[in-house]
Amino acid sequence: MDVQMKDSGLLHVTLTKMCELHAIDMPRNGELAEHFQLAFPSANYDEEADEWRMLWKKGTYAESNARLEAFFSERGVAFSHVDKC
């Protein structure tokens, strides 16, 4: 899992776009995960991949990324994108 504590103490999350599948590399449990589940109820944790997964329809990627970015930014969590689509 690529979740890292930065020098500033902020959590870093990697967001991976795999076409219709988005992977969110963050811990399964904890306060951030609880808020994430409330904000994105369609997300589920993939035990095998050890990351959160969400499906989004083609044509909504920009909106999807904006929602994820806003969610993490509002909580002071740094993030980066990986595009595998």
pTM for the whole structure: 0.79
pLDDT score recorded for residue 62: 74
Break the chain into its structural domains and give their ranges: 4-83
State the angle between helix axes of 61-74 and 31-39 in degrees (0 to 180), rounded to the nearest 10: 140
Tens digits of per-residue pLDDT, 6-42?
Answer: 334 558 999 998 888 889 999 999 999 999 999 999 9
Provide φ and ψ at 66, rounded to 5°: -60, -40
CATH topology classification for 4-83: MutS, DNA mismatch repair protein, domain I (3.40.1170)
**CA gap 18, 5 in Å, rounded:** 25
Strands (DSSP E) contained in 1-85 are 4-5, 11-18, 21-25, 44-46, 51-55, 78-83
